[in-house]
Amino acid sequence: MKVSIIGAGMGGLSAGIALKRLGYEVKVFEKVEAIRPVGAAISLWPNGVKCLNYLGLAEQVAALGGRMDHMAYVDGASGRTMTRFSLQPLVEQAGQRPYPVARAGLQDMLMRAFGPEDIALGMPLVGVEDGASAVTAVFANGQTVASDVLIGADGTHSVVRGHVLGHQPERRYAGYVNWNGLVEIDTAIAPADQWTTFVGEGKRVSVMPVAGNRFYFFFDVPLPKGQANERATYKAILREHFRGWAAPVQTLIERIDENGTNRVEIHDIEPFDTWTRGRVALLGDAAHSTTPDIGQGGCAAMEDAVVLAIALQTNTLGVEDALRRYAQRRVQRASDLVLRARKRCDVTHGKDPAVTQAWYDELWQEDGSNIIRGIYANVQGNPLD
Ligand code: FAD
């Protein structure tokens, strides 16, 4: 069976690896000539890590992962710890450590595991023609490729989504801007084995360890959409937004390399339940575009990849039936994650300041059990539970 995957992000490549392992002839077509992920790193929660383990990448992902043993919330203004606790109960409950990983390392690992020789770069898809016996991908350069199945893993601005739905749903601005990047670990900022988050005024500053003695950092600030985005101003803007915050936050701002920092206006898409059309299926952000507030977008894309492979392997009534069964298994879970992230986003970023203040008050009382319960609720229900 021939499979065309559109998009060489973490979803498309995970699906590619899973389907190649079943013996399918898989090609990935990627729009850009050189892949530069939009963020510096991501947290892979136990559900995402288990999917990579399932794809035979357990050792590689563990080598990329930072050692994140503890979690803490810190009051941004005073620098006082609100709560600090071990993540071991989560590891034991889920049966797997979470791993924060640099995106470049993750991308490289997935491309190598899939096989770079089967990735066609500089191939923007512009159209899909679905037929009874094959589906045809149409590329901007006029080239066409026919296959038995086409997977749209082309991210939040998906072209394939437009074909599947017959229209393009609007992306919804979530109300905040995220700056993210990598810095060398410095315990003047936070302990090296801890996911530390400074909170206040609906803003957030977070650091977590990734391999190579680096912290993945991000700053969230509620802001209107469409403000100027000039790299050379990032530090000055962050100094302004975090004026008066505790010393570790100021230290972090001074350490930032503006050239390696990303600025993202955070969006999601209202969940929808049509993920397939004939021989075409959506996967990853193309199917369920989420805010990053529970760190599950990429993990969910990896879950999609595993379920897609199982559906194609185990169903014998034809690919259209197998794709429908894949979607049936995924739509509810992925939609729940999008809506849970949206809810978390609103609490974290001061949509209703009274609700956000109540959350800060709770953090001072927290012993970790409620937060771990919340994280586990996101992990639970994954295909490899
Ligand atoms: P993408 O990674 O977007 O890849 C899509 C690929 O398709 C791209 O390479 C693109 O160039 C290509 N493409 C697009 N259009 C075309 C076309 N027409 N033709 C051919 N190719 C095309 N997730 C987590 O699990 N944990 C986290 O901690 C986390 N943190 C995040 C932090 C931020 C700031 C953001 C923005 C997201 C975060 N996410 C996180 C979400 C995660 O990044 C996404 O869910 C994930 O990248 C989705 O993977 P994907 O393969 O579906 O899409």
For residue 71, give the nearest of 382, 381, 380, 376 by alpha carbon.
376
Pocket test for ligand 1, best of 27, 29, 30 (most atoms within 8 A of CB): 30
CA of 155 to the centre of ligand 1 (A): 5
Instruction: List beta partners, residue 28.
Output: 5, 119
The residue whose C-alpha atom lies closest to atom 50 belonging to ligand 1 is 11
The H or E element that residue 73 is part of is strand 70-75
CA of 234 to the centre of ligand 1 (A): 23
What's at 113, amino acid-wise? A
SS3 label, residue 123 = coil
- Please report the DSSP string for 325-340 in residue order: HHHHHHHHHHHHHHHH
**pLDDT given for residue 38 in this prediction:** 66
- Radius of gyration of the chain, Cα coordinates, nearest whole angstrom: 21
- Please report the DSSP string for 265-307 in residue order: EEEE----S--EETTEEE-GGGT----GGGS-HHHHHHHHHHH
Q: Which residues contact 322 (CB under 8 A, 6 or more apart)?
A: 311, 312, 314, 315
Angle at 181 between CA 86 and CA 66, to 5 degrees: 35
SS3 label, residue 323 = helix
The H or E element that residue 25 is part of is strand 25-29
CA of 228 to the centre of ligand 1 (A): 23
Instruction: List beta partners, residue 83.
Output: 73
**pLDDT given for residue 36 in this prediction:** 77
Q: Looking at ligand 1, which atom is closest to the CA of residue 160? A: 18
At 167, give phi and psi (nearest 5°): -155, 170
**pLDDT given for residue 352 in this prediction:** 98
Q: Looking at ligand 1, which atom is closest to the CA of residue 178? A: 34
CA of 286 to the centre of ligand 1 (A): 9
Q: Using a 6 Å CB cutoff, which residues line ligand 1?
A: 6-12, 29-32, 35, 38-39, 42-43, 48, 124-125, 153-155, 159, 178, 180, 264, 284-286, 292, 295-299, 301
Instruction: List beta partners, residue 176.
Output: 222
CB 224 within 8 A of CB 239: no
For residue 304, give the nearest of 326, 277, 289 by alpha carbon.
326
The residue whose C-alpha atom lies closest to atom 35 belonging to ligand 1 is 292
**pLDDT given for residue 39 in this prediction:** 79
Q: What is the pLDDT along the chain (385 residues), one digit of tens a residue?
A: 999 999 999 999 999 999 999 999 999 999 999 987 667 999 999 999 999 999 999 999 999 999 999 999 999 999 999 999 999 999 999 999 999 999 999 999 999 999 999 999 999 999 999 998 999 999 999 999 999 999 999 999 999 999 999 999 999 999 999 999 999 999 999 999 999 999 999 999 999 999 999 999 999 999 999 999 999 999 999 999 999 999 999 999 999 999 999 999 999 999 999 999 999 999 999 999 999 999 999 999 999 999 999 999 999 999 999 999 999 999 999 999 999 999 999 999 999 999 999 999 999 999 999 999 999 999 999 999 9
Per DSSP bridges, beta strands 99-102 and 262-268 are unpaired
The residue whose C-alpha atom lies closest to atom 45 belonging to ligand 1 is 297
Residue whose token pair is 């379920």: 307
CA of 16 to the centre of ligand 1 (A): 15
CA of 108 to the centre of ligand 1 (A): 14
CB 107 within 8 A of CB 37: yes
The H or E element that residue 44 is part of is strand 41-44
Angle at 371 between CA 367 and CA 377, to 5 degrees: 145
Q: Which residues contact 226 (CB under 8 A, 6 or more apart)?
A: 265
Q: In the chain, what are the domains? A: 2-171+268-379 (3.50.50.60)
- Separation of alpha carbons 338 and 192, rounded Å: 30
**pLDDT given for residue 168 in this prediction:** 96
CB 138 within 8 A of CB 311: no
CA of 10 to the centre of ligand 1 (A): 7
